[in-house]
Amino acid sequence: MVHYMRICVAVIGAGSWGTTVAHLTAHNTETVLWSRDPAVADQVNTKHQNTKYLAGYDLHPGLRATASFEEAVSCADVLVMGVPSHGFRSVMENVEKHLRAWVPVVSLTKGLEQGSRLRMTQIVNELLPGHPYGVLTGPNLAKEILAGDAAASVISMSDETVAMHMQQIIATNLFRVYTNPDVIGCELAGALKNVMAIASGMADGLGTGDNTRAAVITRGLTELSRLGVAMGGHEITFSGLAGMGDLLATCISPQSRNRHVGVELGKGRTIEQIIADMNMVAEGVKTSSVVMELAEEHGVEMPIAEEVYAVLNEGRSAADAYKGLLGRRSRAEMHG
Residues forming beta bridges with residue 119, ordered by sequence position = 112
Strands 64-66 and 78-81: unpaired
**Strand residues in 150-266 grouped as ranges (E):** 151-157, 175-179
- Contact yes or no for 77/31 (Cβ under 8 A): no
Contact 152, 138 (CB under 8 A): yes
Dist. CA 171–CA 177, nearest whole Å: 6
Measured over the CA atoms of residue 325, residue 329, residue 330 and residue 334, the dihedral's sign is negative
Give the whole-angstrom CA distance, residue 59 versus residue 71: 21
Strand partners, 269: none
CA distances from 221 to 68, 188, 239, 314 (A): 41, 12, 8, 24
Active site annotation includes 143: no
Question: What single-letter DSSP state applies at residue 177?
Answer: E
- Inter-residue contact 137 to 157 (CB < 8 Å): no
DSSP secondary structure string for all residues of 29-53 = EEEEEE-SSHHHHHHHHHHS--HHH
User: Which is catalytic among the residues 47, 52, 193, 286?
Assistant: 193
Which residues are the active-site residues?
A: 193
